[in-house]
Amino acid sequence: MVLCLHFVPSLHVEKREVGVREWIGGAKLLGAMSLFDRGLDVAHAVMAHGQRQPRIVEVGRVTDKGRKFAQRGGVIAPGVIEHGLVVAFLSGHNVFDREGYGMIHGGLQRGTLRRMRIRLISTDFDGTLHAETEDPPVPEDLQVLLADLQAAGASWVINTGRDLSGLLEAVGRARLRVRPDFVVVVERAIYQRQGSAYVAVEPWNGQCERMHLELFQRITPDLPALKAWVQARFRALIYEDNFSPFCVIATSNGEMDAIQEHLAEYCRSVPGLDVMRNDVYSRFNHADFNKGTALREVARILGVKAEETVAAGDHWNDLPMLSWSLAHGLIAPANAIEPVKAAVQRQGGYVSGQPWGHGVARGLERLLG
């Protein structure tokens, strides 16, 4: 149980003014639900238009950031009202988390804390949707949410760095009861489900292949020098595959940081060249093709707007699609790297306190209201 008082400031949407609506005196006992593995219990308040008293509708737990804030003497919990913003504090702490409030305010302005009409969901696969160590690898409640959204007319795309055969094999092993409507593989090629098969989307895939071929032909003379630079300094593995003439697997993230910096500098000298990273892996690719541009193309095909789109990811190669310009519903699970969490928070998105598909499910639930 949580013993608390609530101090409720409100935001006037039109005037963008923050002021104290009222004090709610007296202690209030709230039944607490343990939603996350760690953190402190906080109350989420909802005030409907014209209501005099906020209504406590659920108890959740704060994230690591919120938990550290609590150790300094207070916790902020977001709530939604029709004409403003409610924030609730645990009693006895005369503090205000301005950074947290700014993030919530930004989310309200962008609409991400209101019920969202979802027509397109783009999820990374490994580490976001799927976790090899989990059983099942994709949580049942997330599968139900995706199935319900599809039944309501939404489309789901798995947006991954895996190739098509590797992805479909993993989907089969995961025993998914729901199938994506589209898949984006190698962060660029798009396939659409037709019956039990996935068919290449044209002219996108053909153009993608031609532009990569032309680009890679231009950089071929420079590859021996790049390989020699890496091998002289690091123990990283360098190889060529069907998708890139220059792929790297570093022995650590620190090693990859240094290699990535050098490769990025080289890319700036070659128009159209980019280097895509995921953990200790990286490879050259054409700058016009990534998870973000592929998501934009899928949305164009479907006639879906950014305000109807959700994107969820956890690593470097997800950043191109974790953009407000592409998706107004942004989600990062608890296991996401810090740059991803920061990008999602900066744009008013949702960073879950739960990892992998559990975190994505919590994000979808929040967006659905």
Mean pLDDT of the chain: 78
**241: pLDDT strictly greater than 70:** yes
Q: Buried b / exposed e across 151-176, counting CB within 10 Å, b at 16+?
A: eeebbbbbbbbbeeeebbebbeebeb
**250: pLDDT strictly greater than 80:** yes
Cα 310 to Cα 17, 158, 200, 304, 369: the distances in Å are 30, 12, 23, 11, 14
**7: pLDDT strictly greater than 80:** no
**239: pLDDT strictly greater than 50:** yes
Q: What is the pLDDT of residues 261-316, one digit of tens each?
A: 999 999 999 999 999 999 999 999 999 999 999 999 999 999 999 999 999 999 99
Give residue for tokens 């962008």: 110
Q: What is the pLDDT of residues 324-360, one digit of tens each?
A: 999 999 999 999 999 999 999 999 999 999 999 999 9
Comparing 268 with 369, the larger pLDDT belongs to 268
User: Tell me, what's the pLDDT at 368?
Assistant: 94
Cα radius of gyration rounded to whole Å, the chain: 23
Q: Residue 233 CB: number of other CB atoms within 10 A?
A: 12
Nearest CA-CA partner of 173 in 205, 203, 227, 134:
134
Residues facing residue 183 across a β-bridge = 158, 191
Comparing 29 with 284, the larger pLDDT belongs to 284
pTM above 0.75, yes or no: no
Q: What is the pLDDT of residues 129-139, one digit of tens each?
A: 999 999 999 99
Helix axes 356-368, 140-151, angle to 10 degrees: 40
Q: Is the dihedral of CA 316, 320, 322, 323 positive or negative?
A: positive
Mean pLDDT of 218-246: 98
Q: What is the pLDDT of residues 169-193, one digit of tens each?
A: 999 999 999 999 999 999 999 999 9
Q: What is the pLDDT of residues 46-105, one digit of tens each?
A: 333 333 333 333 333 334 334 333 333 333 334 333 333 333 333 333 333 333 434 443
Mean pLDDT of 254-258: 98
User: Tell me, what's the pLDDT at 114?
Assistant: 52
Cα 132 to Cα 9, 125, 126, 174, 333: the distances in Å are 44, 11, 8, 9, 15
